[in-house]
Copies of this chain bind each other. A is one copy, B any other.
Amino acid sequence: MLITVDSSSAQPLADQVANSVRAALAGGQAAPGDRLPSARNVAATLGINLHTVLRGYQQLRDEGLVELRRGRTAVITGTADQVRLQLTAAAEEFARAALHAGATDEEALDAARQALANLRE
């Protein structure tokens, strides 16, 4: 279970922590029943604050992806499919921005297609 963080990123650290877990779950590197490393451990390893890690964990709990109980490390309860559903929310944000910029549906999809192609290079 690898959790990484980029302090130069504009994305909040807590979100990055949560994203690391989501990616591991969606990518098959983690499965329901697995345990996350303790928040204190992650905080010390990454050089960030305990609260920041816990806020990331609590995001995951609010989404039903992990179970948190004091005294024990977090347990993964969500599935990969569950994580992929979050894609729709991200896609909706993009679609909204695209339409707001005056794009048609086709233009928006073409842009998404082209972006994916660029990232694959």
Interface residues of A (CB under 8 A from B): 19, 22-23, 25-28, 80, 83-84, 86-88, 90-103, 105, 107-109, 111-116, 118-120
Cα distance A94–B80 in the bound complex, in angstroms: 19
CB distance from A76 to the nearest CB of B (A): 14
Of B80, B83, B84, B103, the residue contacting A87 (CB under 8 A) is B103
| Cβ contact within 8 Å between A91 and B120 | no
CB-CB under 8 A from A26, the residues of chain B are 101-103
CB distance from A103 to the nearest CB of B (A): 5
| Cβ contact within 8 Å between B101 and A86 | yes
CB-CB under 8 A from A22, the residues of chain B are 101-102
Which residue of chain B has the shortest Cβ distance to A95 in the bound complex? Answer: B115
| Cβ contact within 8 Å between B92 and A118 | yes
Cα distance A115–B96 in the bound complex, in angstroms: 9
